[in-house]
Amino acid sequence: MKKKILVTGASSGFGLLLAKELHKRGYNVIGTSRNPDKNQSSLPFKMLALDITDDKSIKSFRKQLFTEIKQLDVLINNAGFYLSGLAEETTITQGKQQFETNFWGTVMLTNELLPYFRNQRFGKIVTVGSIMGLISLPGGAYYAASKHALEGYFKALRFELNEFNIKVSMVEPMWSKTNIVTNSKVAENKISDYDEYRTTLEDYTKDLLSKSEEPTAVVETLLKLVENESPKFNNPVGKGSSLFPAIQYFSFKTFENSIIKNINKFKK
Ligand SMILES: NC(=O)c1ccc[n+]([C@@H]2O[C@H](COP(=O)([O-])OP(=O)(O)OC[C@H]3O[C@@H](n4cnc5c(N)ncnc54)[C@H](OP(=O)(O)O)[C@@H]3O)[C@@H](O)[C@H]2O)c1
């Protein structure tokens, strides 16, 4: 029987590429979007409406999902967005919105589906975190916090679901060429004291983003996790994705100095 795979945020970026590839490989794929009709006619897999920040949307999505399929083999928690800006310049409302989507939205959807996974006594949950869930860089405090929170949550869940033969993993990509920047939100509360540092940081970030990698490696890793019987918990992807967390862990000072040195190169 074809494995049934749910991919959230399948309208763009990693989610879209992954859903297309899974469909090509013969899986029964269900994708989600807040506007599922927008691209449905050009997609080979079924798209369902889902806003992970909205409890009503999650409940009606769950009903629709289980009329489409009778079992769920894999949940890929991919939906999310990027909030950029200095911590103090980010309003608390914006910070909460970042958590509403990246953390609470992901957790709420997972929770809604857990009873089905438990009843089946099998399944797999793969969540797209970020390298920013393992390290933290200036200009992305709330994004990093939301992704760190996911790491903590799913690490505990991995132990708890082991009892039920449900595998839990994370994927931690480096910057990749998707629509994440176009869809990002920016800190609204500019404080003049930060003007110089903000400009330097913007140039540093632009340079980082210009070195973004193709999303192929992330999609490949997700495919391997779908097919692997015993997936690892952490799966960093991209150049330096294993090195940076390791340096930070063994010598935070070395990590910190190298980041500061790189940022200072962009000082005017
Ligand atoms: N690209 C990178 O450099 C990078 C690096 C590390 C981690 N990530 C993570 O990878 C994941 C996918 O991002 P991407 O890079 O592929 O970005 P993207 O191209 O902007 O795609 C984001 C997807 O998330 C969905 N989404 C956003 N908010 C949603 C909500 N409230 N409810 C339901 N769906 C929502 C969007 O669907 P609709 O707008 O159609 O609803 C879209 O399909 C995110 O979790 C992101 O944090 C990305």
Nearest alpha-carbon partner for 22 in 44, 42, 1, 39: 44
Distance 184 CA to ligand 1 centre (A): 9
Amino acid at 196: E
Residue 69 is assigned to a structural domain of this protein? yes
Predicted local confidence at residue 1, as pLDDT: 78
- Residue 134 neighbours by CB under 8 Å, 6+ apart: 148, 151, 172, 234, 236, 244, 245, 248
Which protein residue's CA is at the shortest distance from atom 33 of ligand 1?
A: 51
Residue 259 is assigned to a structural domain of this protein? no
CATH number at residue 142: 3.40.50.720
Distance 198 CA to ligand 1 centre (A): 25
Alpha carbon separation from 82 to 12, 132, 139, 158 (Å, rounded) = 14, 11, 11, 25
Q: For ligand 1, say whether the CB of 78 is within 6 Å of any of its atoms.
A: yes
Residue 125 is assigned to a structural domain of this protein? yes
Residue 255 is assigned to a structural domain of this protein? no
CA 249/CA 174 separation, integer angstroms: 18
Q: For ligand 1, say whether the CB of 38 is within 6 Å of any of its atoms.
A: no
The residues facing 171 across adjacent strands are 128
Q: In what order do the strands lie in the sheet with 123-128?
A: 46-49, 28-33, 4-7, 74-77, 123-128, 166-173, 236-237
Q: How many domains does the chain have?
A: 1
Residue 197 is assigned to a structural domain of this protein? no
**Look-up of token digits 């859903």:** 19
Q: For ligand 1, say whether the CB of 74 is within 6 Å of any of its atoms.
A: no
Residue 72 is assigned to a structural domain of this protein? yes
Pocket test for ligand 1, best of 183, 221, 239 (most atoms within 8 A of CB): 183
Residue span of the structural domain in which 76 resides:
4-191+214-239
Distance between first and last Cα of the chain:
61
Mean pLDDT, consecutive 10-residue segments, the chain of 268 residues? 95 98 98 96 97 98 95 98 98 98 98 98 98 97 98 98 98 97 97 98 94 97 97 97 95 97 96
Q: For ligand 1, say whether the CB of 54 is within 6 Å of any of its atoms.
A: no
Reading the block at residue 168, the tokens are: 């839990």
Q: For ligand 1, say whether the CB of 175 is within 6 Å of any of its atoms.
A: yes
List residues with catalytic annotation. Answer: 143
Residue 85 is assigned to a structural domain of this protein? yes
pTM reported for the whole predicted model: 0.98
E strands present in the chain: 4-7, 28-33, 46-49, 74-77, 83-84, 123-128, 166-173, 185-186, 236-237
